[in-house]
Structure formats: C-alpha cells, structure tokens
Chains A and B, each alone.
Chain A
Amino acid sequence: MAQLTPAGEAGAASQPIDAAALAKDFPLLSREIHGRPITFLDSAASSQRPTAVLDAMRNYDETTHANVHRGVYTIAEEATRRFEGARAAVGRFIGAPVPSREVVFTKNATEALNLVVHSWGRANLGPGDAVVLTEMEHHANIVPWQMLAAERGIELRWLDVDDEGQLVLDNLDQILDGAKALSVTCMSNVLGTLNPIPQLAEAAHAAGAILIADACQSVPHLPTDVTALGADFVAFSGHKMCGPTGIGVLWGRESLLETLPPFLGGGEMILDVRRDGFTPNDIPWRFEAGTPPITEAIGLGAAVTYLEGVGMEAIRAHDIALTRYALAAFAQRFGSALTVFGPSDPEARGGVLSFAFGDVHPHDISQILDEYGVCVRAGHHCAKPLMRRLGVPATARASFALYNDEDDVDTLVDALEAAGRFFA
C-alpha cells in the first residue's frame, strides 16, 4: 500500500495534510490530458480511488469471492465476514450506534433515498400529508417524493434559498407544522452550503416529523456523527468518498428501520417464503434484496479506512484552506467578472465552487479548461430548481478533495483566463 500520511491520525486537527503526497496514492492522478498533467476538480461528482481501495477490491476478487450469506464453505464464510466487516467499518465511520443493524447497502445514494420514500413513505404517508424539501436539493431528493406525491396525494412544501445560498428558516416552524418529514441535504452540491442539520432535526422532531439527510457531499468531507446530526435517515454514495461506484449507504435509526416494510423483493430480504406469502428478514438485510455489490462494499470499507487514516478533521481543514485560497485567487484575477454562488465564508461551506464567468457558457468554459487538463463539471448539477432560483441555466463547478492543492487552483485560474481570452 502506498504511504498513508498519518496527518490527522493523532487527532491533531490543525496538522495540515500533504495533498501532493496523498495524490500519489491515486493512480489516475498521474495521467496526462492533452499532454498536460491532469487537474481533477470534479470530486463532487465522483472522486478518484486510492490504491488501497483498488487493492482491497482486487484482493477480494482474486482470493475470496463467493456469494454472501449463503454457503458454508471457507471462502463463502470469508466473503460474508469481509462484507459484514465493510458494513461495520462504514458504520464506525459515521458514528452509527448499531452498525450491524443500521447500515443498509444500496446501489447509490439515489437508491437509498428511493428506499426511504418507498418503504417509509408508503407506510407512513397518505393523502394530505406533507413532506418538506428545500430549493437546493439534488433531483434524487426531489423526484422520488414527487412520484410518491402524485400517487398518494401528498403535499410537497419547500424551504427557499436566500441570496447568500442559505436556507430561509424564518418560517420553519410554520412550514413544518403538520408535516411528516423534512428531507434536506447536509451540503449543497452546487453552493457548498452546509445546512444546520441538528437545528433542522430538532425543529422537525418538535413538529412530529422525521428528518432525512442527504449526506452525499458531507460524509466525504466532514467528520460525521449521525447521532449528533439528529437525523433519522442518512443517505450517501461510495463513489464520492474515494470508494467505487455501485455502492451507496442508507443509515437508519434502528428503532425506525425495524418498523419498515421491505423495499425491493427477492432473495436475501426474506426469512421464509410460502405459497401464501413471505416473512421479511431482519434489518438491515430486509432492505438488501438480491446479491449485493460485494466487491464494491469491500472497496467502500477500504475507502473509509483510508479516509480515517488521513483524518476527517484534517480533510475538513484542508477543504476550508483550499476554498479560501481559491476565492481569493478568483477575486484577485477576475474581480467582478467571476461570480461564485453560495456562502462567501469558507468556514460556512464545503469545497464546492459553482461559478459564472462573464457571459461564457459553462459548457464552453469546461471545454476550454479540458484543453489545459482541468476537469470541472458544467451543467445544472441535477439541481434544476436551484438553477432557476439562481437565474442561470447552468454553472461551471470546481470541487476539491484531499488530493487537490494550491497548484491545482493556480492551474484552474490560468485556464479560466485563457477561456476568457478565447471568448472575449
């Protein structure tokens, strides 16, 4: 395994991480694009994987693979142990009180949110019931609710976003009044805004509603303790936290999960099947119909171990420092020609910078930047209601991870200047 800089290991949160050294753990980052070193600034869409993750997956495939929870032979037993070990590691990573029962593996965060909507929603929501969403949600936390709303006659209410990219909470109690659920992102994938989840959870619970947290962007970048968040469900994806695609997680409060009906039906999720019906399995397997993504779960387990080795406090400090540097560099080089959406205080946001640059379309920005080996996302980021609120069809977005450093920001700024010249 490549060197794991134990920067945050000792708990010394102020010890900065050595991003350039960490980048060497990620084979893809040694690639060149159009003859230049790659500058990967799209980790909010999907992050790269370190050798530790790739090795763990390959090692499992080469030495241990068999179906889980089935056979009694040695490798089947080992596979089950490694799969459940990954569940335990993920649970530990997010502070789950009961990892073995509360961590549900899904295909991705989208499936995790759909699981909540279909399982909890169908069991608990009927005509006239209200669910509260926010204007900054990803489509994955909007569309499943809209589908259920259309079917069940559920009312969807919305928390607005202000000009600083913060949720408008003045009328929170009023909006929550009579609602059954508040489903909200921990960190906007467009604005970087960090929402006050504990406060929102408290208000939701006071109103008799549950809180569902979309933690896709926050779990990879901030220390996460589901108990401290106060959420009832927390959803996130493996591939944004240095893990593989094809694996996501739904954490649910044990007492709540126990009350829920299954989501998908099939093998694994049952205890017994008769001609006249079936008895569902215990949690968490009740929600894991079919053979799960075993290799991917083991990869995710290795990813959280890697992140713990770097230290989540250190990663958060790194994101703040890099965001501060980038905001200053943007302001210095481009002044008012470049607008960053979302909170201006780096401490109040994650390392996700969506911006407008003159009147150059984000698609064109991204195209020119690619010529310089710089990977940024251009588009609506699966958040069209938010795009409408911002009054733009799309934005360009640069997002940071533990392997990015100030040189990456400098390369971005130089490439942006070239894009500005091109379309001047």
Chain B
Amino acid sequence: MPGLEDLYREIILDHYRSPRNRGELESPPAVRVEGFNPLCGDEIVVTLDVDDGILQDIKIGGTGCSISQSSASLMSAAVKGRPLAEVYEVISTFKRMMSIHEASLPGEGSDPGATGDEGVDEPEAIDVAALGELAALQGVVKFPVRIKCATLSWNTLTQGLDEAASPASST
C-alpha cells in the first residue's frame, strides 16, 4: 500500500513551502496562460518569455495544493533558461513518468494486495534520473486522483509554449 511518504517527499514539501520562480512576468511581452483543475478548483498562471529559441524566463502564479504547487515550482526550476528542444524533452519525460505509471496501476480501487511497486517493472523508456529533483513526483502516480494536480502546470506550460510559437502570439 502506498504511504503518504511516497506522495509527500521532502523535496515536494520544500518546493511547496518555498516555491521557486513565483510571480508573474509582465504580459505582454510575456505569454500568459491560465490552467484550471476542474476537480478541485486549483488555478495556475504560467507566464513565460521565449526568445532566440530559449525559454528565457518563467514565473508561476495561482493557487493550489501542495502537489500542484510543488510540481509547478519544480517544473519552473527544471526548464528555466533552457533551449526549447530540451524543455520539450523534459515535458515529454515528465508526462511519460505520469502516464506510464498511471496505465500500469491496478484498475480497481486500492487493494492492498495489488501494490504496483515501482521497482517491479520500471518503464525502461523513462530516464527518471535525468529528471533530477522532478523524480520526487513519481510517487504521485500511486495516488491516481492527484495526477491531475501534478500535471496541471505542465499542461499549462505546453499551452504557453504553443502560443509563444504561433504567429498570432502577442510576442
């Protein structure tokens, strides 16, 4: 049975208590995107500044639970200042960490006998180590309802990058 310590790792609680890159960039010129979790009412605001193929700056606003807030904070630290190709790579890896685990979860409830222990068939496609601190979030997938909390900021970032890339974008 997954325990709370799987969910609330120390790194997560640290980022929740002291969120990195908190605030909003002036928009425009920055791209501003809002994300909502209709399940719990969490709202996240991602502002980002893309220039010269590099995610120059990113700030996170809004309110949410420890998982959504720490995930956003960890995300901002992981992608800030990096070339877009690498940013997309991180997003892709993170989402695969969430979804592959999700797919391998037992379908019915949380039967204590059906522990999908992560050591058993760890997906080889994911280089969790490459995620650095983000790997702390992998315990979230044992709590399926919380996956949406963890992915909210990432989906919002993806949307922001799309907007930044589109010709219609204000930037």
Contacts and interface: CB of A to CB of B under 8 A. Distances in A.
Interface residues of B, number: 20
Interface string A375-398: 000111000100100000110000
Contacts of A368: 4
Given A363-B149, A367-B146, A387 B41 contact: yes
Contact of B4 (A361, A371, A394): A371
A278 interface: no
Interface string B59-71: 0000111110100
A379 B40 contact: yes
Contact of B65 (A363, A380, A384): A363
B7 interface: yes
Given A363-B149, A367-B143, A423-B66, A393 B8 contact: no
Nearest to A34: B1
Interface residues of A toward B: which range? Answer: 10 to 19
B102 interface: no
Contacts of B66: 361, 363-364, 423
Given A34-B1, A363-B65, A423-B66, A394 B40 contact: yes
A362 interface: yes
B43 interface: yes
A367 to B, nearest CB: 7
Given A34-B1, A364-B66, A367-B146, A393 B7 contact: no
A393 B149 CA distance: 14
Contacts of B65: 361-364
Interface string B18-47: 000000000000000000000111110000
A361 B64 contact: yes
B71 to A, nearest CB: 12
Contacts of A367: 4, 7, 143, 146
Residue with the greatest number of chain B CB neighbours at <10 A, chosen from A362, A393, A423: A393
A368 B7 CA distance: 10
A47 B3 CA distance: 27
Contact of A380 (B41, B143, B146): B41
B40 A363 contact: yes
Nearest to A387: B41
A37 to B, nearest CB: 16
B136 to A, nearest CB: 16
11 contacts: A361-B66, A362-B40, A363-B66, A363-B67, A379-B39, A387-B41, A393-B41, A393-B64, A394-B40, A394-B41, A423-B13
